[in-house]
């Protein structure tokens, strides 16, 4: 089996396991992170209503992750949201994914 396909399948299994345990509401939305080779995408999602409350994107670097995290926290605060649930989407919690979480926490979002 191709190494990249095996890696993707492993991440998808982890992602499904995570999504089975967490869910976002209007008061406490889910912060979903997706990263590609060039960009990182962060969304605030209300799973009960099935809508995206806010989204941002940035370059897939630690600095870009910090920018995306602070931007998503600002979007959440503008909507009156104080708490959220963090969904790392099967990625390891380091580098860009950790930078998003740390920046959102520093900007005042609690999760």
pLDDT in tens, the chain (111 residues): 688 889 889 999 999 999 899 989 889 999 999 999 999 999 999 999 999 999 999 999 999 999 999 999 999 999 999 999 999 999 999 999 999 999 999 999 998
Give the start-to-end residue ranges of the domains of the chain.
3-106
Tell me which fold the domain 3-106 belongs to.
Nucleotidyltransferase; domain 5 (3.30.420)
pTM for this entry: 0.87
The count of other CB atoms within 10 Å of the CB of residue 8 is 12
- Per DSSP, what are the bridge partners of residue 43? 32, 55
Which of 73, 65, 67 lies closest to 95, judged by CA?
A: 65
């Amino acid at each position: 089996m191709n190494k990249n396909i095996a890696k993707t399948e492993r991440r998808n299994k982890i992602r499904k396991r995570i999504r089975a345990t967490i869910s976002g509401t209007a008061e406490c939305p889910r912060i979903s992170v997706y990263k590609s080779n060039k960009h990182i995408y962060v969304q605030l999602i209300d799973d009960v209503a099935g809508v995206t409350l806010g989204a941002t994107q940035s370059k897939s670097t630690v600095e870009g992750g910090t920018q995306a995290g602070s931007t998503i926290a600002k979007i959440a605060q503008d909507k009156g949201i104080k708490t959220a649930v963090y969904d790392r989407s099967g990625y390891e919690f380091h580098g860009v994914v950790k930078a998003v979480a740390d920046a959102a926490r520093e900007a005042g979002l609690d999760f």
